[in-house]
Amino acid sequence: MNNLKDKIAVVTGGNSGIGYATAKELKAQGAKVIITGRREEAVQQAAKALGVTGIVADQSRLADTENLVAQVKQDFGKVDILFINAGIVGITPIEHATEQMFDDIININFRGAYFTLSRFIPLLADGGSVVFLSSNVASFNMANSSIYSSSKAALNSIMKIAALELASRNITVNAVSPGPTETEILNKMGMDDDTLKAAKANILSKIPLNRMGTAQDVASMVAYFCGDAARFITGAEILMDGGMAL
């Protein structure tokens, strides 16, 4: 499939999980892909494995984003596809929230995503595609997720306003909101094996399709948004949660 032949695609947080799977899918469909991430070794390792360009950039730092845009402009001239995927998860009751956790999550998931879009707009080709990675918790209230949920709800607002602002250039802006997805993030939450197993069983009991999503599920939807079949879709949020919200 060469649906995206020779399109220039930037994937933030592309060295693992959903970002990695999406970079792989976009490349398989013919795109020239640039991935970013905060850790140089991880970015270069992923870029080599995928056969794509890797650039180290921390989405929470505006200077990094501006340097990224400058480098992409110099090396590629334009961007056809922008997948704003980089993000972190954090859970805490509101009562016990720390300023540090709030700042860490908001700086990457909201502020960082906002300025990634902002600074890339001049480089976006007319007729291009922007996709945000949101989450089903943006509209699904869950205890202990207030900061993370708020960061994703804010992204959905930006997405819709950006869709209006960029419509005159025929640039589509959409969001994919996965539910529970099998990625390393789950394993990084500091749970032992038994707790992790119990947590996954509890999650599965709330999903009508009775399985977790995969990074490839999300990658396929992102690629769809960037192809010709989705040219008349903008300002849309697609829930991919196996029916959990039902």
Instruction: Tell me the DSSP string of 58-92.
Output: -TT-HHHHHHHHHHHHHHHS-EEEEEE--------
Residues contacting residue 49 through CB under 8 Å, at least 6 positions apart: none
Tell me what pLDDT residue 190 has.
61
Q: Can you give the length of the chain in residues?
A: 246
Rounded Cα distance between 41 and 31, Å, is: 24
Q: Where are the alpha helices (DSSP H) in the chain?
A: 17-28, 40-50, 62-76, 99-106, 113-120, 146-166, 184-187, 193-204, 215-225
In the predicted model, is pLDDT for residue 10 greater than 80? yes
Q: Average pLDDT, stretch 140-163?
A: 94
Q: Please, which pLDDT band fits residue 30 given cuts at 50, 70 and 90? A: very high
In 3D, which of 14, 21, 4 has the Cα closest to residue 182? 21
pLDDT of residue 75 exceeding 70:
yes
Query: Which CATH superfamily groups domain 8-183+216-239?
Result: NAD(P)-binding Rossmann-like Domain (3.40.50.720)
The C-alpha atoms of residue 233 and residue 236 are separated, in whole angstroms, by: 7
DSSP state string for 215-246:
HHHHHHHHHHHTSGGGTT--S-EEEESTTTT-
Nearest to 117 by CA among 156, 148, 73, 159: 159
Who contacts 97 (Cβ-Cβ below 8 Å, separation ≥6)? 146, 147
Q: 54: which strand partners?
A: 35
Q: What is the CA radius of gyration of the chain?
A: 17
The residue with tokens 């996965």 is 178
* Chain mean pLDDT for the chain: 93
Lowest mean pLDDT among 1-15, 74-88, 214-228: 1-15
Q: What is the model's pLDDT at position 178?
A: 95
Instruction: Give the mean model confidence (pLDDT) for residues 116-124.
Output: 98
pLDDT in tens, 163-221: 999 999 999 999 999 998 887 655 555 667 787 788 788 888 889 999 999 999 999 99
User: 144: phi > 0 → left, psi -120 to 50 → alpha, else beta; which?
Assistant: left
SS3 171: coil
Which of left, alpha, beta for 54 (phi over 0: left; psi -120 to 50: alpha)? Answer: beta
pTM attached to this predicted model = 0.93
From 20, 114, 148, 224, active-site residue: 148
112 versus 202: which is more confidently predicted? 112
Domain boundaries, the chain: 8-183+216-239
Confidence of residue 23 (pLDDT cuts 50, 70, 90): very high
pLDDT at 101 over 70: yes
pLDDT above 70: percentage of residues in the chain: 96
148 has catalytic annotation: yes
Contacts by residues 98-105 (CB-CB < 8 Å, ≥ 24 positions apart): 101/147, 102/147, 104/60, 105/147, 105/148, 105/151
